[in-house]
Chains A and B, each alone.
Chain A
Amino acid sequence: MIEFKLPSLGADMDEGKLLEWKVGVGDTVKKGQVVAVVDTAKAAVEVECWQDGIVGELIAEVGQKMSVGTVMATLLEPGEKPQPHVGAAKPVATAEAAGAAAPARRRMISPAARKHAEEKGIALDTIEGSGPRGAVTLEDVERVAAAKPAPAIPPPAAGAAGDKAAEMRKAIAAAMARSKREIPHYYVAEDIPLARALSWLQAQNATRPMPDRLLPAALLLKAVALALRRYPELNGYCREGVFTAGQRINLGVAISLRQGGLIAPALLDADGKNLARLMQELADLVKRTRAGSLKSSELGEATITVTNLGDQGAQLVHGVIYPPQVALVGFGRVTERPWAEDGGLKVLPVVTASLAADHRISDGHRGALFLRELAELLQHPEELDQ
């Protein structure tokens, strides 16, 4: 019997609330399949299964709050007979009356649709799903919302949005306080000329239809991913003082939310993807992050974080490492600056890249070399597109 436990989706997550089961007892599940939706302090997250199996028992109940590591369900291996599971799924707090007593239901609804329905005060049971297997989509919710009056559930109590924002702020504060308390940060920074990179990008974009155009962020992310291949001590985790290098290069991308706060979901295997694919995945990640529709693998598997302040930001960022990661790369706003080269002075677009890294694992010298490698990679933009 395999125990399916509530995974940690980051240093700022201690517990989660089960919003929905996506599977039922007896269903065959595959590795990577979304099996549940869990609300965290930051977002509703689609939790994926990490093993193949057959659902034996759904232990956690909808509405139940659980600590990370709580057994939510059991999976059976092929040929295995079901047995009642003992000693699992103790709720963190009393389950909320409305949802907890009800048996787990197989109502398929995307997190974004669920969130929208809650905002509109529309009962989920009243929405007819048009998606695969009757799944309720965002469009279904919008259709019902447009055809009001609809049977309504009580709207969230006044201040609910504020409570959620406060909860997120608290989660961020807890993770960042832990980071500053436990991780001896060091910082290095490097000004990187981007004339070649932006010129190449402009030429590329002139040949691409609008939906396929690239942002400078795609180049910066790819360059970070490639540079990390040569500096594996910046890519991985430090737990209880022991460093484990990441097996993959998964870039956590800090994405600000419109209502405040931020989430850093991962672009998985960023070093092996061409720029078009990275851009596509980045756009998708930003969209789903802001719509509240992320997967657990995107939240729990970042091996380093990149924060890109973009063209509305400051010139330099001193990042706070997201534990248990060991480094954070920051990019400020690209600005035109005077640049001395070959005994002459010119004006170039320049970005300041910074690195905050864990002194238990690496030293400033290696950090500086990493930034030099990053700068060099960005002088050959065509080589990044592979």
Chain B
Amino acid sequence: MNTDDIRAVALATLQSIAPEVEVDTLRGDRPLRNQVDLDSMDWLNFLLGLHEKLQVDIPEADYAGLVTLNDVINYLQAKLAGRG
């Protein structure tokens, strides 16, 4: 999976939780939750959706590093690459 594929999965997952979000307007380098109204349950469901779609486990200890969309994509890419 390349970066674009992962980004597409992440955005589709995000839209399933926040259908009103306009993905074209999202800045990948800005905190995601400053751009989209996601409460803690939404955020958990977002990560859970990524886990289910990509079969990637995301330990709670890693949540703090997942702030921007780019953080999420880079994290998932590293996890998928590590899985070989």
A interface residues with partner B (beta carbon < 8 Å): 202, 205-206, 210-211, 213, 215-217, 256, 258-259, 282-283, 286, 310-312
Selected from A202, A210, A311, the residue in CB contact (under 8 A) with B51 is A210
Given known contacts A210-B47, A213-B60, A310 and B39 CB-to-CB distance under 8 angstroms: yes
A282 touches B60 (CB 8 A): no
The yes or no answer to B44 lying at the interface (CB within 8 A) is yes
Question: Which B residues fall within an 8 A CB radius of A?
Answer: 18-20, 33, 37-41, 44-45, 47-48, 51, 57-61
Cross-chain contact A206 with B39 (CB below 8 angstroms): no
Question: Majority SS of interface residues in chain A?
Answer: helix
How far apart sit A217 and B19, CA to CA, in the bound complex (Å)?
24
**A230 CA to B58 CA in the complex, in Å?**
39
CA A205 to CA B45, docked complex, whole Å: 15
Partner of B19, one of A206, A210, A215, A258: A258
Q: Most chain-B Cβ atoms within 10 A of its Cβ — which of A206, A216, A258?
A: A258
Is B37 a contact partner of A258 (Cβ separation < 8 A)?
yes
Q: Are A206 and B60 interface neighbours, CB within 8 A?
A: yes
Within 8 Å by CB of A312, from B37, B48, B60, lies B37
Q: In whole angstroms, what is the CA distance A202 to B64 when docked?
A: 13
The answer to whether B39 touches A312 (Cβ under 8 A) is: yes
A210-B48, A258-B19 are contacts. A215–B61 as well, Cβ < 8 Å?
no
* Residue in A205, A211, A256 whose beta carbon sits within 8 Å of that of B60 in the complex: A205
Q: Which chain B residue shows the least CB distance to A259? A: B20
A216 (CB) vs chain B CBs: closest residue: B40
Q: Which residues of A contact B45 (CB under 8 A)?
A: 283
Assuming A210-B47, A210-B48, is B41 touching A283 (CB within 8 A)?
Answer: yes
